[in-house]
Amino acid sequence: MDLQIEGKVALVTGAGQGIGKEIAKRLASEGAKVAVNDLFHDRAHAVAEEITRGGGTSIGFQSDVTQIAQVQGMVEKISSLLGPVEILVNNAGVPAEIRSGQMKRTVFVETDPQSWKKDIDPNLYGCLNCTYSVLRSMIEKKEGKIINIISEAGRLGEYNLTVYSGTKAGILGFSKALAREVGRHAINVNCIALGATAHEGLKPPLNIESSPDKDPLLQKMLKSYPIGMGLGRIGRPWDVAYAVAFLASPKACFITGQCLGVSGGYSMV
């Protein structure tokens, strides 16, 4: 299927590895010109170089999405080098349970208020900052696709991940409200909700090399993912990337304010 995004300018945040990297590569394979953002310069440029070696068009940009001035500066550079952003994928964020390679979950009453910013700033403010920085040009063009990557924790609430769940739920509410505001400008705003998704940036049992046949915790997790049980795996970055590419295309022009679960059936809202 021709997704008709050839030549479109896409910004993918947090795209130096894992899910964001796969999203950037998929959009580039469909002909989009991709701005690869990451907090780390080397990661962003490595992904951009991989895309260009494969025949695509891409440039890496280092920027901290929690800092509005940095984001606005990045968007200005993208506009001058590739053109105004027409597709924004807000993927950057920090999963609360992954801290220094360890799984960490804490009931809310025992959390440290100083730690809340570790989730709120990248997960929620990162989305707000990037959206705010590209939205005016989308309104002027009367065209745009905004896809926000959230978690099923934002739709269902996750035990011992209260602040993290709150940030993802905040993005969902923001996306629905924004979709109502900008629909008259032919701008689509949607979310994709993820379950456990293995990639190279995570430690076991959620790294890409983990096997459910060898890890009892992964076997236990799979019981919550109906399709995952059938496939013998949890989510992979390409599962997300295909969904993003569709929502970024004109084929999805009549879909807005929605949340698509790409989670193997973990949630069936």
Q: Which residues are catalytic?
A: 164
Q: Which positions ≥6 away from 191 have C-beta within 8 Å?
A: 147, 148, 149, 150, 171, 172, 175, 258, 259, 260
Amino acid, res. 131: T
* Beta bridge mates, 35: 11, 59
Distance CA(90)–CA(221), nearest Å, equals 26
Here the tokens at position 95 are 């999963």
Distance CA(161)–CA(55), nearest Å, equals 41
Q: Which positions ≥6 away from 196 have C-beta within 8 Å?
A: 206, 221, 225, 234, 235, 266
Give rounded-to-5 percent helix, strand, coil for the chain.
45, 15, 35
CA separation, residue 213 to residues 32, 216, 228 (Å): 38, 8, 13
Distance CA(70)–CA(181), nearest Å, equals 26
3 state SS of 256: coil
